[in-house]
Chains A and B, each alone.
Chain A
Amino acid sequence: MRRAEGLRLGRLEIGGGFLLLAALLFYFDEQCLLPRALAACALHELGHLAAIRALGGRVERMVLGAAGAEIRLRGSCALSYGGEILAAAAGPAVNLALAWLLGGWFPVFAGMSLALGLFNLLPVYPLDGGRILYHALAALRDEGTAARACRRLTAGLSLVTAAAGTAVLWRSGRNFTLLLVGGWLLLGALRGRKRLAKRRRNGYNGAS
């Protein structure tokens, strides 16, 4: 029995890092975007959960951390590579579908949903895109190759984004959004490295 990493609310665990990040975002949120953003993230995670359930997997718990939400499956109900790909794709799929359906009526929410969905499809490991890539490569080749390729791609893209973010901040003197995104990717990459290095474990990380 693993000990709790945060506040437990049934099978949901809210970590301290998540609370601090939420507090920070809420503090700076002058346009009241946070509630809609959280809604988009929640629906994204629900997409994952629904797909996992439909494919026969069972969720042990979901942990909310500073680097996003992580769904931990019960080891006994493992998914095949194809299943993992579908489950990982379900989250962004929900976001994109919502964006497409609600574009005309709720443009801000639709825009956020689209941005979230596309962002999650980036081929960087803890994100859904990275997971899809990993499992696809693992199925086509083997886990070792998949892990290597994903590690390199993740490290490379995170560093490039962080570097670009620094360049933008340097030039504009004030826009540090890209740098924050790069930093966040690096944080997630560092945390996810352990998973990539070990044997395939059942876990999802939907970026929030």
Chain B
Amino acid sequence: MRKRVRTRGGGAAHRPKGNRRAELGRRERQRLLQLGFCLAVFLAVLVGRGVFPGQMVQVGEQAAAVLGRSVDFKGAFERLGEAIGRQRPVSEAVGEFCVTVFGISAVEEPDPALSGAVSQGEARFLSAGPSGYEAACRRLWLEPEAGTPAAVEEGQAEPEQPEEETVLPVGAVVEQVPYEGEALPEDATMDRLSIGTLQWTVPVQGTKSSDFGYREHPVEGGVKFHYGVDIAADKGTAIAAFAAGTVAFTGESTTYGKYFQLDHGNGITTLYAHCDTVEVSEADTVALGQQVATVGDSGLTTGSHLHFELCVAGTRTDPAWYFAQG
């Protein structure tokens, strides 16, 4: 009788025990390596965000800026929570949340550099597209207007009157601007504030090179809040006083270059920076449209321009809106 030869497992492949263990060991090792890699990445990001190679950081920041700036998740969650807290209808709050977070909206949003929605008055510019807005601004400011620097030198500036039927008190909100971006700093607002009956003029004719609000800083990089508006003009171009007032202070710094601030009363102040020359001194009285300085590129700049800030009752607001009104 033949002895039956026992075969292992009954399967076709008959591997010796040692090899199978080695194969499993290899797979285990591979898994461990993968896991180890993932853990390393996690710890790296946790400990220091700057571990990625330079290009990836840039891409990451761009992506973060793009999404982070356009969707304020924290604010959206906050509103949702507050809605429940106040026992408001949940479905409404959830709907609002979805619209905010997922960006489902009927209105096409223009240039991503502009934060939030824009007022009705500017809507006509937007229909022409992002470049239309810029072009329209240029057209507005380059057209001969009352209070041009040339007229200023002769001391015969004509004041610009904002055409309003009713004038709101200084500091009142003329127009609330729905803003859906990164949380604003405490001393700035996207809302349009009233400057009462103050007669004013555009300080310098030029192209708007940088808007009010969050932006990628042109020199330092990173997303920073821009408290004013930049108007590009040739070095030496005359800067007119926005309105009558007194010189609150003048100074010089590495960031702002040669700068000064005018106080127009009622809590309205304007700041002018990166000047080439400042022709007034502290406590001087200035008239509307009087030449007070010249455009330069002092301080942290990429070119010759005026950095102009408008502050109403301690809150910075977008000067460009006023210029567009005028």
- A203–B274 CA distance with the chains assembled, in angstroms: 65
A76 close to chain B: CB less than 8 A = no
Among residues of B, the one whose C-beta sits closest to the C-beta of A175 is B103
Q: Taking each of A22, A105, A106, A110, which has the highest tally of chain B beta carbons within 10 Å of its own beta carbon?
A: A110
What residues of A have a CB within 8 angstroms of the CB of B73 in the complex?
31, 33
Min CB gap B208→A, angstroms: 22
What residues of B have a CB within 8 angstroms of the CB of A172 in the complex?
70, 103, 105, 109
Contact in complex: A178, B103 (CB < 8 Å):
yes
Min CB gap B13→A, angstroms: 21
Min CB gap B305→A, angstroms: 27
8 A Cβ contacts from A157-172 to B: 164-165, 168, 171-172
Contact in complex: B97, A171 (CB < 8 Å):
no
8 A Cβ contacts from A162-202 to B: 164-165, 168, 171-178, 181
B192 close to chain A: CB less than 8 A = no
Contact in complex: B81, A177 (CB < 8 Å):
no
If A16-B35, A177-B103 touch, does A103 touch B82 (CB 8 Å cutoff)? yes
What residues of B have a CB within 8 angstroms of the CB of A23 in the complex?
41-42, 44-46
Min CB gap B245→A, angstroms: 39
- A106–B68 CA distance with the chains assembled, in angstroms: 22
What residues of A have a CB within 8 angstroms of the CB of B103 in the complex?
168, 172, 174-175, 177-178
Min CB gap A35→B, angstroms: 12
The 8 Å CB contact of A30, one of B68, B85, B90, is: B68
Chain B contact-residue range equals 35 or more
8 A Cβ contacts from A135-169 to B: 164-165, 168
What residues of A have a CB within 8 angstroms of the CB of B101 in the complex?
177
B320 close to chain A: CB less than 8 A = no
Contact in complex: B35, A110 (CB < 8 Å):
no
Contact in complex: A20, B102 (CB < 8 Å):
no
- Which segment of A44-52, A84-92, A112-120 sits at the interface? A112-120
The 8 Å CB contact of A176, one of B41, B60, B67, is: B67
Q: List 17 A-B contacts (CB under 8 A).
A: A15-B38, A20-B38, A33-B73, A33-B74, A99-B84, A103-B84, A104-B85, A104-B86, A107-B78, A111-B77, A111-B80, A164-B104, A165-B102, A172-B105, A177-B71, A178-B103, A181-B102
